[in-house]
């Protein structure tokens, strides 16, 4: 197993209501799961290969709850990555070189029945975890915008977080509202639904350290 470790800022959006029942081992809001997950690595490596500054976007689709399987995945990798970095990122995102069940990517990989060929494109990425704001854009393929949840009566910003002491993606994540869409082999389009902002820190064995604020 090649040792790897990465710290990253992420913006994940899915079609569930705010809070996402999946985070509580409950069934998804609408019975299925469609998500656009993006992150930028602030510091990372795969063996001797540096992953600093690289970005990825994944379009994910399941016909029912994630644990029931039959999922599909389409990965977009930062075109700035060289061949070694591309292979490293795809290995991590495929759940390889990872203890079974230790990371979100390993868990998700076990639920997939179709993984489309990856593409390598410029990825625009701006995320402020603490402010619950973010923007991701891949020309012609994917875009996502996240913002704070607002009180429906007053319009005031509402702050909520999810704390998962034994999570496999993050320990603490800020909640927000997302509007996102994807084209290509997996198409989706949603407005005003679940957004998750987090600082993540993972390696072959799971979470090293992760806190949103």
For residue range 170-199, what is the model confidence (pLDDT) as tens digits?
999 999 999 999 999 999 999 999 999 999
Residue 211 above 70 pLDDT? no
* Contact call for residues 40 and 59 (beta carbons, < 8 A): no
Residue 210 above 70 pLDDT? no
The residues, ordered by sequence, that sit 6+ positions from 18 with a Cβ below 8 Å of its Cβ are: 149, 160, 175, 177, 193, 194
Report, as an integer, the average pLDDT of 33-62. Answer: 98
Measured CA to CA, the distance from residue 207 to residue 5 in angstroms comes to 10
Mean residue pLDDT of the chain comes to 96
DSSP state of 168: S
Which pLDDT belongs to residue 98?
97
Percent of the chain scoring above 90 in pLDDT: 98
What pTM value is reported for the model?
Answer: 0.94
Residue 202 above 60 pLDDT? yes
Report, as an integer, the average pLDDT of 79-87. Answer: 98
* Contact call for residues 75 and 35 (beta carbons, < 8 A): no
DSSP state of 23: G
Q: How confident is the model at residue 23 (pLDDT cuts 50, 70, 90)?
A: very high
Residue 80 above 90 pLDDT? yes
pLDDT tens sequence across 90-100: 999 999 999 99
Say how many C-beta atoms besides its own lie within 10 A of residue 114's C-beta.
12
pLDDT tens sequence across 109-130: 999 999 999 999 999 999 999 9
Say how many C-beta atoms besides its own lie within 10 A of residue 77's C-beta.
22
Which pLDDT belongs to residue 213?
46
For 67, what's the count of Cα atoms within 13 Å in the CB-facing half-sphere? 8
């Amino acid at each position: 197993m090649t040792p790897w470790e990465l710290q990253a800022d992420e913006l994940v959006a899915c079609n569930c209501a705010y809070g996402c029942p999946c985070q509580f081992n409950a069934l998804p809001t609408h019975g299925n799961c469609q998500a656009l997950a993006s992150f930028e690595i602030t510091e990372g490596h795969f063996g001797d290969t540096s992953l600093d500054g690289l970005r990825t976007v994944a379009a994910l689709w399941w016909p029912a709850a994630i644990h029931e399987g039959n999922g599909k995945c389409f990965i977009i990798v930062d075109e700035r990555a060289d061949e070694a970095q591309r292979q490293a990122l795809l290995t991590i995102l495929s759940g390889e070189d990872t203890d079974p069940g230790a990371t979100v990517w390993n868990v998700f990989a076990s639920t997939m029945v179709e993984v489309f060929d990856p593409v390598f494109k410029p990825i625009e990425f701006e995320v402020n975890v603490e402010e619950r704001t973010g923007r991701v854009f891949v020309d012609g393929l994917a875009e996502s915008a996240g913002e704070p949840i607002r009180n429906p009566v007053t319009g005031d910003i509402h702050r909520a977080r999810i704390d998962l002491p034994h999570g496999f993606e993050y320990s603490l994540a800020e909640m927000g509202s997302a509007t996102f869409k994807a084209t290509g082999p997996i198409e989706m389009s949603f407005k005003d639904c679940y957004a998750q902002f987090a600082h993540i820190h993972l390696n072959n064995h799971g979470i090293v350290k992760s806190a949103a604020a």
